[in-house]
Amino acid sequence: MIWQIVKKQGLVLLRNRQQLLLLVGLPIILISILGTALSNWVNGDNPDIQAKVAFIEHDHETEQVERFLTMLEKELPPEAVAAIEKEMGNLMFVSALKNEVFGSEELQEIIQLEEADPSQLAEIKNDNSYSAVIEVPENFTYELLEKMILDKEVDPIIHTSYNDTHQIGTSIVDSIVKQFQEQATLGMFLEENDVDQAVVQIDEEKIVSEVTSISQKNPISSKDYYSVGMAVMNVLFIASTIGSMAFLEKTTHVFDRVILANVSRWVYFIGIFLSGTIFGFMQLMIIYAFSWIAFGVVWPDMFAFFVVTLGFASAVGGITVLLTAISYRFNSEIITNFFSSIIVTIMAFLGGSFFPIGDFSPSIRMLGELTPNGAGMAAYLSILRGDGLTDNLQHLLLLIIFAIATIVIAACSFPKRGAIK
C-alpha cells in the first residue's frame, strides 16, 4: 500500500507539467547563467583588463641629454663631464618609464602603449578608447638634469590625463605612474646625498625561508559550484510541492477515502516521506546528469556521491512529511507556502547556494552547514575536491539526524485519526 501512495504522488506530479518544469528546468537554467556569468569570480581568474595608453613626447630625450652635456662641457672640467656622462643612462627617466615600465612583459598583457605625435594630442583626448594620456613637456629631461646635477630651482612635471569612463584602467595607470615617481624621487635623493643605492635594496640571498609541500586538491570551477548550489536549493521545493499535493488530497477528501479503506494513517505518513525522498533523489540525479553532460561535472568518488545524495534526499523527505503534518494539524497551507517562498531562500543563502558566504565568516559557515542544504553542499564540494566518504561523515551524520528529527516531529504533529477535520 505504501508503494501505491508513492506511485499516486508520482502520477499527480507528472500530470502537473508546469510544476515539473520548474523543478527540473529552473535549476538547469540557473546553473547555465550563474556558472557562466560568475566564472571569473568563483574560479579566481583575473578579469580581462585592457588599458590603452597614449605616450606623447614634445621633445626627444636623447637630444636633450646631448644638449645638456654640451652645456656642461662649457662649465665643468672634462673629467667631471665624463663621470656624469657615464651615469647618464641611469638618469633618462622618460625612456625608463616608456620602455622598462610600460614596455615590460608583465604590463604588456594589460596595457597597450602607443607613442603619438604632439599634433595628435587633441584627437587622442577626444578618443574614448584611450584610458590615459601621458604627456612629457618640452625640456623635461633637460630641466630634470639641471635640478639633479646643478641643483637648479626648476620643477619639471609629466602631465597625465585620465578617462573617467575607464575606471579600472585609469586606476592601474595612475598607480604605475605614482610608483615610478616614488622610485625616481628616492633615486634622486640618494644621488644628491651620495648614498649607495645598495643600502635600500633587499638582499634576497640573506632571506631564510622554508618551503613546505602541501597536498593539492581538485579545484572547484564555477560550473561545479553552481551545479551543486542550485541542485541543493531547488530540491527543497520538492518538499513544498508534495506537501501542497498532500494537503490538496485532504481538502478534496482523498485522504478520507484512504482512511475509510482501512489504511493506517501511518502508512500514508510513510508514503509521503518516501515520496519526498525518492522524488528528491530523482531530481538531484537529473540535475547532476545534465551538469555532467553539458558542463563536464565529474564526481571522483561515485560511491560517496550516491551515499550523500541518498542522505540529503532523506532529509528532503523529512521536510516533506513535516510540512504535511503541520498543514494537516492546523488545516492550513500557510506554513508550506511560507517555507517555499521565504525559508528556502534563507536556507539557500546561509548554505552558500548563491555565493560562498561562509568564506567571509566562520560563524556563518558553521550556521550554514547546520542546514540540510548547507551540509549537503559542503559534502558535495568536498567530494568534487577529491575527498572520500570518510572525510564527510560529519555532514552525512547531520543529514541523517535532521531526517530523523523531522520525522519524529512530524509524527508527533500528525493529528490522530479522529482529530483530522
* Domain termination residue (choose one: 160, 195, 230): 195
What is the rounded CA–CA span in Å between residue 94 and residue 86?
A: 18
In a shared domain, residues 289 and 380: yes
Mean per-residue pLDDT for 246-261? 68
More confident residue, 396 or 204: 396
DSSP per residue, 208-246: -------PPPPPPPHHHHHHHHHHHHHTHHHHHHHHHHH
| Residue with the three cell numbers 605614482 | 178
Q: pTM for the complete prediction?
A: 0.59
Has residue 300 got a pLDDT over 80? yes
What is the rounded CA–CA span in Å between residue 225 and residue 237?
A: 20
pLDDT in tens, 381-403: 899 888 888 888 999 999 999 99
What is the model's pLDDT at position 111?
Answer: 82
What is the rounded CA–CA span in Å between residue 143 and residue 200?
A: 27
Q: Angle of helix 372-385 relative to helix 222-234, nearest 10 degrees?
A: 150
Res. 258 pLDDT band, cuts 50 70 90: low
Percent of the chain with pLDDT over 70: 83
Nearest to 338 by CA among 352, 327, 353, 325: 327
Determine contact, residues 233/348, Cβ cutoff 8 Å: yes
Does residue 406 belong to any structural domain of this protein?
Answer: yes
Res. 212 pLDDT band, cuts 50 70 90: very low
Which ranges in 44-165 belong to alpha helices (H)?
A: 61-75, 78-86, 93-95, 105-108, 121-125, 140-149
What is the model's pLDDT at position 151?
Answer: 75
Number of domains in the chain: 2
Determine contact, residues 232/371, Cβ cutoff 8 Å: no
Instruction: Let me know how many helices (H) and strands (E) the chain has, helices first.
Output: 20, 4
In a shared domain, residues 239 and 286: yes
More confident residue, 171 or 199: 171
What is the model's pLDDT at position 402?
Answer: 92
In a shared domain, residues 232 and 293: yes
Does residue 203 belong to any structural domain of this protein?
Answer: no
What is the rounded CA–CA span in Å between residue 360 and residue 382?
A: 18
In a shared domain, residues 60 and 29: no
User: Is the CA virtual torsion 266, 268, 273, 278 positive or negative?
Assistant: positive
**Given strand 111-116, what is the order of strands in its sheet?**
111-116, 51-57, 132-136, 159-162
Does residue 77 belong to any structural domain of this protein?
Answer: yes
What 8-state DSSP symbol labels residue 340?
Answer: I
Has residue 6 got a pLDDT over 50? yes
Does residue 157 belong to any structural domain of this protein?
Answer: yes
Does residue 153 belong to any structural domain of this protein?
Answer: yes
Residue 95 sits in a domain whose CATH number is 3.40.1710
Least confident of 26-40, 52-66, 208-222: 208-222
Has residue 366 got a pLDDT over 50? yes
In a shared domain, residues 302 and 372: yes
Query: For residue 130, what is its C-alpha cell?
Result: 584611450
Query: For residue 21, what is its C-alpha cell?
Result: 518544469
Between strands 132-136 and 51-57, the pairing is parallel
Does residue 206 belong to any structural domain of this protein?
Answer: no
When the pLDDT of each residue in the chain is averaged and rounded to a whole number, the result is 79
What is the model's pLDDT at position 257?
Answer: 66
Radius of gyration of the chain (CA): 35
Has residue 365 got a pLDDT over 70? yes
In a shared domain, residues 239 and 342: yes
What is the model's pLDDT at position 209?
Answer: 46
Nearest to 162 by CA among 54, 47, 57: 54
In a shared domain, residues 247 and 334: yes
What is the rounded CA–CA span in Å between residue 24 and residue 27?
A: 6
What is the rounded CA–CA span in Å between residue 170 and residue 13?
A: 56
What is the model's pLDDT at position 188?
Answer: 61
More confident residue, 22 or 316: 316
More confident residue, 356 or 126: 126
Question: Which DSSP helix (H) or strand (E) runs through 51?
Answer: strand 51-57
Has residue 199 got a pLDDT over 70? no
In a shared domain, residues 40 and 115: no
Does residue 343 belong to any structural domain of this protein?
Answer: yes
Task: Name every residue whose Cβ is closer than 8 Å to that of residue 10 and which is 6 or more positions away in sequence.
Answer: 275, 278, 279
3-state secondary structure of 296: coil
Mean per-residue pLDDT for 201-225? 58
More confident residue, 74 or 106: 74
In a shared domain, residues 296 and 407: yes
More confident residue, 317 or 24: 317
In a shared domain, residues 226 and 79: no
What is the model's pLDDT at position 397?
Answer: 94
What is the model's pLDDT at position 204?
Answer: 45
Between strands 132-136 and 159-162, the pairing is antiparallel
Mean per-residue pLDDT for 155-159? 81
pLDDT in tens, 322-354: 988 888 888 888 888 888 888 888 888 888 888
What is the model's pLDDT at position 8?
Answer: 75
pLDDT in tens, 23-51: 878 888 887 777 666 555 555 555 556 78
What is the model's pLDDT at position 215?
Answer: 45
Which domain range does residue 62 map to? 51-195
What is the model's pLDDT at position 222?
Answer: 78
In a shared domain, residues 108 and 67: yes
Res. 281 pLDDT band, cuts 50 70 90: very high
| Residue with the three cell numbers 580581462 | 48
More confident residue, 201 or 193: 193
Does residue 55 belong to any structural domain of this protein?
Answer: yes
What is the model's pLDDT at position 35?
Answer: 67
* Domain termination residue (choose one: 178, 195, 212): 195
In a shared domain, residues 55 and 173: yes
What is the model's pLDDT at position 36?
Answer: 66
